[in-house]
Structure 1
Amino acid sequence: MEDTASALSKLSRRNKRLESLLKKYKQTHHLQYALIQLSEQASTVPELTLLYPAIHHILEQYLPSRSFYVVLQNQFSQQLELSYFVDERDGISVPLNESHHFSEGVTGYVFRLGKTVYFTRDTMQAAITEGRFRALGSPAEYWVGVPVYRDKTIIGVMVSQSYNAEQSYSEQQIELLEVMSLYLATAIERVKKRELLESEVKIRTRALMQSNEALNKEIEQRKKALERQQILFKISELATCNSQIDEIYQQVHQIIRSITFADNLYIALYDKESGWLNFPYCVDSVSPSSQPRKFAKGYSELVISTERSQLIDGHRANLLIENGIVERPANFDPKWAATSWLGAPLKTAQGVIGLIACQAYNHSYEFDHDDMELISFVSNQIATVLQTHLANQALKASYQELEIRVLEKTKELRQTNLHLQMQIEERKKIEQQLYHDAHHDPLTGLPNRSLFLTQLEKTLQIYQRHPEHHFAVLFIDLDKFKDINDQLGHQAGDQFLINVSEAFSECIREHDLLARLAGDEFVILLNHLSDKNQAEDVAKRIIRVMQKPFCMKGICVQSGASIGITYSNKRYGDIDEIIRDADAAMYYAKNAGRGRFEFYHPLLTAGKHLPKAVECHHLCDLPSHFRSTEVVDYSASATKLIQTVPAVRMLEAFGEHPVLGSTSFDILKKFAAERDEQLELELKLLREAQVATPQFAGHTLLACSTLLLEEQAFGLLQKQLQNQSKGLCLLFNEHDIRFASSRQLDNLKQLALTGIPIGLNDFAKDRCDLTLLSQIDFTYVLLSSTFSKRVLQQSSFEVQLKGILAVTECKNIQVIAKGPAILNFQTLLEKHGLKRFFGKQLNLATLAETQASSELLAE
């Protein structure tokens, strides 16, 4: 029962939400449909006496308006006069001819006030008692008066009243009245012009009957009037058509072409706030396109500033230039000047929004005053059409789509009201679709920035409550995406983004989140991580995917991906810091050569917050020290594990950085400003390690970079190693050796031939390449901790370990496993044939030190 009640309650809340949404869409539909009907009536009714009943009929569909009248101000007597009156109670018994009748009543009050007034019977009586106006006619239960404006001048009042106490006016109905009043003045003007036009046609027709000569002349003028009327009809149709704005411009061009010479025509729009002229449409035989420009002193600016049509021939053009009214650009060529130019302002209720202009070259046509009259005649109507489409083009498509969807969902809801469960499921689908549309990228279908940031915020909150739930953010920027757009086109670029999003989705787990931020930027949120290697694996898969060329239309373009990674850290207080750090790491990866990934490190952003002297600190000047970790050798033959005397140790160099404190030089070397600085640091650390080596009986492992193996640096290395003891072993990273040049590999082999111990660090982290072990005489091989873990988790890696042990035994190479100093972990590896382990013992002193170092590096 409780579940049923909960479901009913949830359904009730969703019903209210859908009803509110439906009510909003219905109101939008009513407003739009009522305005369309008003525009159609204004275009079709032959006289004003038929316009007002048509408006009354439109309003009756949406609100109680059986009592409705319109009062307009006489432009000559300045008195309020009744234009239309229908009242279900008073009829025409009200003394309408009484002098100042409407000025003294509530209608005159609205006219003086200049804004919408809504009265109930009680509030109207209170206003009458206060002396605001006189009581005229039968008192209504509800009374609404809306002022009618032409431009910014009030010209009358539109009134609707209800004598039924149960039929009041809602805010939506009052809003509908206000919207109708905004367009009423325009409709009245259009009908008046049409009445005037029809009256003129009739008068001229009668005059034509008096003489044959006058008859021909009047017939011609009537034809022109009819043509103008047809032009107005065509323009009015444009106001209600569903075409795109570019098609509207083309249709306007065709209309102008039908009334005058318009082979060369452009439409300019003026933005008062920015002071720029834009040319959204231009057809010209001399200048096919016009670029936006600042408001200056040209023909177009003359039309806009004077708000009048301008007819300019060669003579007038010279006068305008001589008087400084018009100025030519410095690079203007007079031979391309128009010999005849005609422009008309596009006027709306808000002022001039631009102009429409025609021009002729080489005296191919000479515009006259008839042409100027015609283009002026249609320019105001064109302005209204363009303003309507410019204002609604972004909303129109969504309104239509929403209207269709609301109608469809309403029909489905009526059919499913008999089945409660079906109704619940259908509404769930609607909510999911709306949520999906609002939170997903329309091109790729991936989550957008809003959804990603919301999910990242939740993940950060979970991590702050449960620090063991680690996460990582991968910020991905596609390399050479601009080349794809330039060479193959934006359609190919869109298809490339779709292909990339599908490929990226296959590189992550189901519960991970892939989102598109903008353009060619993607971001991935990885949850439930145990270490950084998992984020690194995802980055490597993405880089491998992006190494494949993208081909379309027979052209192939090589792209790539630069990836910045930031790992969860307890210092993160908000998601902006996470996005900032991932973005900084991505830019470092891009600047470092692209097609790679980098983890965020505080040095990437430290320079932004430090004084210049600290930011440019030379690494060799940092105070340094070594931290030694011994390699442990366990014997499996004893009854218990006994640690023997250590014969191998690992030296790790630390520097006292002004920002990070005691930090590994392996980290600091990565951010060295110059290669010379890094080489100098390498040799310095080597000298210090040589001093410490004789004090230790066994081998000392020191991590070095392949920079020492380059041609110029190798001579310095050999000179420095001439007199050292054989106890120092140079340890090189397996990843660097794999991508080393042939010269660097030869130098490495030369070190082994001269008796210098060398080792391979982090072996089999990404791949198990046994050729390195067979081709180079290494003394030590350190297996990566990642490989050690995988040996215990997957049987396929046991086979690889057997191959490594077989090759190293033949080559007399010592194998050391890296991993946590946990006895159970080492005991399991020992069963696979590994005897030596590198890892810090978990006593209290080293545990605190390890934890502090881990937190510092993670930051």
Structure 2
Amino acid sequence: MEDPSSLLRKLERNNKRLKFLLKKHKQNNHLQHALILLSERASTVAELTLLYPAIHDILVQYLPSRSFYVVLQNQFTQALELSYFVDEKDGIAVPLNEKSHFSEGVTGHVFRTGNTIYLTKESMLKQTQKGSFKALGSQAEHWVGVPIYRDNIIIGVMVSQSYQVEQGYSEQQIELLEVMSLYLATAIERVKKRELLESEVKIRTRALMQSNEALNKEIEQRKKALERQQILFKISELATQFNDIDDVYQQVHHIIRSITFADNLYIALYDKHAGWLSFPYSVDEVTQYKPRPFAKGYSELVISTEQSQLIDICRANTLISEGTVERSKDYNKIQLATSWMGAPLKTANGVIGLIACQAYDHKYEFDYDDVELISFVSNQIASVLQTHLANQALKSSHQQLEHRVAEKTKALQQTNLHLQMQIEERKKIEQQLYHDAHHDPLTSLPNRSLFLTQLEKTLHKYQRHPEHHFAVLFIDLDKFKAINDQLGHQAGDQFLIWVSKAFSDCIREHDLLARLAGDEFVVLLDHLSDKQQAEDVAKRIIKVMQQPFCMKGTCVQSGASIGITYSNKRYHNIDEIIRDADAAMYYAKNAGRGRYEFYHPLLTAGTTHNKQIEHHHLSALPTHFRRTEVISMTDEPNTISLLDAFGEHPVLGSTNFDTLKKFTAEKAEQLEIELQLIQQVINIGNAQSQNLLFSCSLTILDNHAFSPLCRLLKSAKQPLCLLFGEVELRHASSQQLENLQTLADKGVFIGLNDFAKDRCDLAMLTQFDFKYLLLSSTFSKRVLQQQSYDLQLQGILAVTKLKNTQVIAKGPAILNFRGLLENHGIELFFGKQHTIGHEPALSSRQLSSASQETLSF
């Protein structure tokens, strides 16, 4: 029998070895998790200012790094420059006061040596006294500096420091910093390339828009040229198709009427030797024109100046006062024109007359565009009129006109050819833009927008022709994350391309395959006669996904979980079809993956009545709340939090109740659950002495729900603010708006949620006395990118200041982001989230009792 003491020592050695292996496994797990988080952040953040805080958040989980900064070498000046800095004591001022701060301090020492250095306060003082580096800034109790390498060349230093004596750094924590630094340079390059790509896309888009504007202007100019060319064609016809001079006058009137107001028009001819004006053609509702000696009228002014004239009442009085124009003795008996214009008929031999148009009683006011047009016409028809008046010059005038028409026709043809080429080029650009907007850039498959458009057309067709059945296959790839983790994101992209080609081979030519997002695909099958055809396609897809995907010598087995919805008369919109297909897909995935399931109303129900209620009634789902704290940039203590309710659905998992309500058709059940949630929020606020914000639907403002709501609010000991969505509030009924105003009048806090997501409606802010206004994360991001949205924000802040409304911004809760928004006038932000455990719900008896109460505060 073995000695007990020997056995005890053996067990102690085994226990010591197991502890060592457990510690090593835990360290490896921390390293792997940190690297996965770093890769995800590098793939999702849009700019470097967001990458460094994300890395900082990862490190805080594993080591004391509340004081953390990153220094990179400027490739042009070779100086060490600060890229990110967070410090408990020094803040941001110390590193920026001295240009050589980092090169002379311990950070520069790490950069020069290229080695990881861990110093305590005592060892740092000793190194400083030896002259290894200068002591700059507040002295930390523990300091760790890790060099950052790219292609075996050091490019910067990553530093973490602690001001607490008891918070030192272990070897495992230092190893974590070293591993993070190895991947930091690659992450920085990925984010920089993404920024450069987005910038290039914006520049090309702006250039394309400018090109389109220039093209539109040129098209307008071409249209004007074409219109004038048409006038030239009509005028050229006067010389060849009409022998009678009276017909020529009528055609001239017709041409001028097509370009301007010409109800009152006359043509006058000037005999320079006789000094007379004759009026061979006139159409006027007031004046009868007869030959007269050359005098000082409007017509004589045009002929003597050889220029077109535009005369209104004001200019007429001026010309009379100057003596340029003289009235006849009986002009008081004549109704005078309120607007008049005339253009000279110029030929090679001089001015032979004029064309004039006029309007009475301000019926029309001529402008300089009209004058330009009539001048253009008069210059063209003068030679034609002279040709008909002088038969001797008929042949020469005709030849000159034909020559001019031929030249202009040739020029027009060339212009038309050039314009046609530009139009064709623009069509190609528009087609390319349409294709890019409706197709996935990676797989070139139709995207969500194009798929939903085609699905809506198919649904409308089925509603008109019920015999034309269709089916939708919602496909989710199994183990896609494992491919990204094992082979990298580039391999993941290649896998998606391979999948898209494989799926295309499984369907018919007229069927539609689209990529919705990530690893989600969808197929629209049209012209089906039975469900078996949809099953056949699903089987082919599952079979092809059984093939392993190999790259760089590594093979990964994936699969596909498919949910199928078949055409049904109960479908009235495409959202219902997508919802049911998605539910069927989740059922297939939870049932073992690599399979397909048809949607059925009882698909998620159990075998008993109780299980059916459990799966289909939200009241039976385990619930919990997620708390998001509101942070003030003025360092005031936090007293406000936002609560979001989540339910543990047997198929969908942990999902917020706004999503779960989509799977519940009973409106009464939704209202019951919402009142239960409000009661739970009140209980949390009373127990924890917190001012809470909670998002509600307008259903609780209906008359049959308003009394129970008031009863619940009466039990609140802490202030509770009910948030209502901006989009839903736009479509509220008059009764709902009246009940909302009643809540505000009785002192209940109300708020506006997700404001300015698609438009900024300042009028809505003045309609009620909102206690809080939650800006949408989309609007907050646009404020930082476009100046026009900053102007909208200033308008919001001005109105909310007058209404004493507090504005809270949604977005990533990081210092850089909040600092940028603070410069625009925002002081409140959402911080980190915390999960609150399951809360008891109201019973049906409590709800019934509450429904008997009325509003009484």
Q: Which has the higher contact order (CA 8 A, sep 6+)?
A: 2
TM-score normalised to structure 1 length:
0.31
TM-score for the superposition, normalised by structure 2: 0.32
